[in-house]
Chains A and B, each alone.
Chain A
Amino acid sequence: MSAISIYHYLIVAAILFATGLAVAITKRHFVGILLGIELMLNAVNLNLVAFSRYDSDRLSGQLFALFVMVVAAAEVTVALAIVLRVYGHFKTVDPDKLDELKR
């Protein structure tokens, strides 16, 4: 039917997920970590949509991806509010500098 098999979508999503994970690990900025998390959530959505192609009368995958989007929106708002509070309190955006628990 379609020339693009499901493996293409899965490989693209795997590469995007790994890139998002590497971004979330390497960045030393709270917002940078959030960028990586958003990228990972999008990669997972791509998987769900790709599998949902084969389920065209119920579309469970697309509905799940829709709820993932809603939860991602809620998550990023609360995370940014927490980042603003942390920045106002500690005057830093580097997660390595917040070593209160080590002292």
Chain B
Amino acid sequence: MEVAAFYGFSALAILAALFILFSKNLIYGAFALLLAFLGIAALFVLAGADFLGVAQIMIYVGGILVLLMFGIMLTQRASQQDGPSRHNRVEVPITRRLWGFAIGIGIVGVLAKIIFSANFRMSGDAVSRKSTIKTIGVELMTSHLLPFEIAAILLLVALIGAAYLALNRNPAQ
């Protein structure tokens, strides 16, 4: 059962990622990225990281993907709308596609070789039947307190910086 779920969700994530690679429409790519994020969230849950699975759905699907869709919509070209297939087209020149495939397949080969030649010796067993929320909370407030506070500052800086950058200071309007 667990194995079937693992293979199903990893196939979902990988197929969605490949669909992003092959689709020419950016909106379809963003929706496929949603499927990939959901598959990865399910893999997190299968790996025993329940809190991270929920955080993945909330941060990535609820926040980042909506932002990306806003980015796609706000950068629409209003002048070149000749036909319904024109929207969000992403043209890929053939040399770049060749390079992309070559580098992608090459890095899969290199990573697979490294993974299978590495002899991981784990210190403990893979036990995860209890919830991880308590451990994450305690660790965040004790040994990871400084990164936690720095992350808060970083989010504030990113919020102010993004709002300032995206301000419309076009004098014509």
Contacts and interface: CB of A to CB of B under 8 A. Distances in A.
B20 A15 contact: no
A80 B99 contact: no
Contacts of B48: 52-53, 56
Contacts of B43: 9, 12, 46, 49
Contact size class for B? 35 or more
Interface residues of A, number: 71
Contact of A49 (B13, B44, B99, B120): B44
Contacts of B154: 70-71, 74
Interface in B135-173: 135-136, 139-140, 144, 147, 151, 154-155, 157-159, 161-163, 165-166, 168, 170
A42 B60 contact: yes
Contact of B71 (A1, A31, A69): A31
A82 B163 CA distance: 10
Main secondary structure on B side of the interface with A:
helix
B167 to A, nearest CB: 9
Interface in B57-77: 59-60, 63-64, 67-68, 70-72, 74-75, 77
A86 to B, nearest CB: 9
Contact of B64 (A18, A67, A73): A73
Interface in B82-136: 90-93, 96-97, 99-101, 103-105, 107-108, 111-112, 115-116, 120, 122-128, 130, 132, 135-136
Interface of B: 2-3, 6, 10, 13-14, 17-18, 20-21, 26, 29-30, 33, 36-37, 40, 43-44, 46-49, 51-52, 55-56, 59-60, 63-64, 67-68, 70-72, 74-75, 77, 90-93, 96-97, 99-101, 103-105, 107-108, 111-112, 115-116, 120, 122-128, 130, 132, 135-136, 139-140, 144, 147, 151, 154-155, 157-159, 161-163, 165-166, 168, 170
Interface of A: 1-4, 6-12, 14-23, 25-32, 34-36, 38-39, 42, 45-46, 49-50, 52-59, 62-63, 65-67, 69-78, 80-85, 87-88, 93
13 contacts: A10-B115, A16-B40, A18-B108, A26-B21, A26-B97, A34-B71, A38-B68, A59-B139, A67-B147, A69-B60, A72-B59, A72-B64, A81-B161
